[in-house]
Structure 1
Amino acid sequence: MATMDRHPPHCPPHPSLATLALAHALSAAERGLAVIPLARTKLPALPSPHRGDPPSAPRCHGECGLPGHGVYDASTDPRRIRALFAAAPRATGYGIACGLAPHHLIGVDLDTKSGTDASASLRELALRHLFTIPDTVVVATPSGGRHLWLSGPPDAVVPNSAGRLAPGIDIRGAGGYLVGPGSRTEHGVYSTVPGTGHLPPAPCPPALLRLLTPPPRAHHPMTGRPGQHGLGLVQFVLSAHEGQRNTRLFWAACRAYENGVGDTLADALTDAAVHAGLTEREARSTIASAARLTAGP
């Protein structure tokens, strides 16, 4: 007796969630958005290769060449993305790294779980500081919240924050990521709001950008003589507050390598980071991570 096919000819098998997530991730990468695979928990799907390392071990941002470094794995290279998803067969979504060229993405997360009306808080901020949110990509979250995608200028670093701008408003900036539309999590599916998916991330209004970027501190003088653009990057690292030193160094190193002066500025950026409070080993590791992330395919 002939056995029945598991999937009749008129009913082709459904693609796996990982395959769907990969397709969405590749589509985002075509728009210049660097991506990583995510698990149903919204956390990176690949475990760290350094789980057994002692606490005193230097922090690795991917210099070891292995996957599993969270947002530092993010890439727009289709081959790299396929390899990441192949190593994460249980992935059901993807994350979009913020703060990277070409969009320098800033995510405004309007949360609903805090019991406050985050959209109303944002409207109040806009009225008080005289800005409007332009038409841009809006992603609906399973909890009823919204993610607004904005682009920042290349010379501004927006730190991640939760509730600092206003209750219920979280910001995803350099070193953070947004759950991409099409991702399936344990709470539901993320999807673009109709009429916004085709839009590019709109420029962040200057008044809002000023609220998102902390004022610089006085910086230490440097003895080196990098070029004017390089000097600005070095001073930017020197003015880092506690808690944003590594983020600022990573951003500045990315900009340096994107402009072809990363190796030239590496020592000056390291010195600046040490002045700001990082160890030399931490600084070198972060700069190496920036070099790897900005390297062409």
Structure 2
Amino acid sequence: MATTDRQATTLALAHALSAAERGLAVIPLSRTKLPALRSPHRADLEPEPCHGECGRLGHGVYDASTDPARIRELFAAAPWATGYGIACGLPPHHLIGVDLDTKSGTDSSAALRELALRHLFTIPDTVVVLTPSGGRHLWLSGPPDTVVPNSAGRLAPGIDIRGAGGYLVGPGSRTDHGVYGTAPGTSHFAPAACPPALLRLLLPPPRTHHPTAPALSGHGQGLVQFVLAAHEGQRNTRLFWAACRAYEDGIGPPLVEPLVEAAVNTGLTEREARATIASAARMTRHRA
């Protein structure tokens, strides 16, 4: 069994290094498809929000890298890893994953075709990864100035989206349920550009009115209202999206405090809100 696991780890590392050569940032995954390295802050009584600023390993997708030496370091620290995750939303591909699930009892492929007909778009030829359960992951490339949030079933039942802060299980990964593999005839593709009509569906529309919104004007007010409208499970994603958009539009610094206040009103702590906004600032500066 140990020999099998060592072989799986060796294969996963090889696949991860190959993905990195294509510009895809990766992290090691366990057989459960979760990040193989546990948080270094798990024993802290009052852990500070940290996305890797402490310099230690174990921050999930925030550890993702395309540097071979760094990847080898990650896998050396997790010799039980049997797969790898590909971080979404990062340059150069700004990867968007369309996860067509089969476990929900719905025909997610048919749902995507119906959306394509209704909104007049076509899924281009692109990388398709087959999952052990019979599902498919479609790899698409997003524009560099757009942050696509993660979502589950929002687009249609059985269709999950992996965007900024999320990851896809890479082909060649071995899990408890089987091995992920590239669909025949698609491995040579680069992630195709996401059709504009589909991209619009993936972005939650900002709300323009909210009774408790801070007194702001213009685009900044819309971003704050967008955060205020978040429900549980959306709060951090909406805040990250709004902060990225604010920094991309050059209004990030003056909008920090209103965004923090809005996020706290939705239930996040001030520390969580400031850490998320700081991550958005780093990501947008990296793009520039």
Q: The TM-score by the shorter chain falls in which range?
A: 0.7 to 0.9
The alignment covers a number of residue pairs equal to 272
Deviating 4+ runs (over 6 angstroms): 231-235, 252-257, 291-296
Q: Post-superposition shift, 1:23?
A: 1.2
Indicate the larger mover: 128-137 or 76-85.
76-85
Corresponding residue for residue 161 of structure 1: 151
Corresponding residue for residue 65 of structure 1: 55
Determine if contact 2:6/2:80 at 8 Å carries over to the other structure.
no
Indicate the larger mover: 133-142 or 77-86.
77-86
Match of 1:136 among 126, 148, 164: 126
Does residue 1:89 correspond to 2:75, yes or no?
no
Match of 1:182 among 168, 172, 183: 172
- CA, structure 1 residues 255+72, in 2 after alignment: closer, same or farther (shift >3 Å)? farther
Q: Distance in 2 between matches of 1:235 and 1:78?
A: 41
Indicate the larger mover: 283-292 or 151-160.
283-292
Q: Post-superposition shift, 1:59?
A: 2.3
Corresponding residue for residue 197 of structure 2: 207
Higher percent of residues as helix: 2
Q: Post-superposition shift, 1:139?
A: 0.3
Task: Specify the code of the residue in structure 1 equivalent to 2:78.
Answer: A
Corresponding residue for residue 239 of structure 1: 226
Does residue 1:30 correspond to 2:21, yes or no?
yes
SS state at 1:16 partner: helix
Match of 1:100 among 77, 81, 90: 90
Q: Post-superposition shift, 1:274?
A: 0.9
Determine if contact 1:233/1:252 at 8 Å carries over to the other structure.
no
Q: Distance in 2 between matches of 1:150 and 1:38?
A: 22
Match of 2:263 among 261, 266, 277: 277
Q: Distance in 2 between matches of 1:120 and 1:174?
A: 26
What TM-score does the superposition give when structure 2 sets the normalisation length?
0.82
Task: Specify the code of the residue in structure 1 equivalent to 2:36.
Answer: A
SS state at 2:133 partner: coil
Query: What are the superposed Cα offsets for residues 37-59 of structure 1, whole Å, 9 maximum, x if unpaired?
Result: 000000110011122223x5332
Match of 1:115 among 97, 105, 108: 105
Q: Post-superposition shift, 1:251?
A: 5.5
What TM-score does the superposition give when structure 1 sets the normalisation length?
0.79
- CA, structure 1 residues 234+189, in 2 after alignment: closer, same or farther (shift >3 Å)? farther
Q: Distance in 2 between matches of 1:156 and 1:89?
A: 36
Q: Distance in 2 between matches of 1:95 and 1:150?
A: 16
Q: Distance in 1 between matches of 2:24 and 2:243?
A: 19
Flag the structure with larger Rg. 1
Determine if contact 1:63/1:292 at 8 Å carries over to the other structure.
no
- CA, structure 1 residues 280+116, in 2 after alignment: closer, same or farther (shift >3 Å)? closer
Q: Distance in 2 between matches of 1:291 and 1:65?
A: 18
Q: Post-superposition shift, 1:248?
A: 4.9
Q: Post-superposition shift, 1:63?
A: 1.7
Query: What are the superposed Cα offsets for residues 191-239 of structure 1, whole Å, 9 maximum, x if unpaired?
Result: 111111111111111111111111012375669xxxxxxx979975663
**Where does the alignment leave 5 or more consecutive residues of structure 2 unmatched?**
none
Over the aligned positions, Cα root-mean-square deviation in angstroms equals 3.1
Q: Distance in 1 between matches of 2:119 and 2:85?
A: 31
Match of 1:194 among 164, 184, 187: 184
Percent of paired sites with the same residue: 75
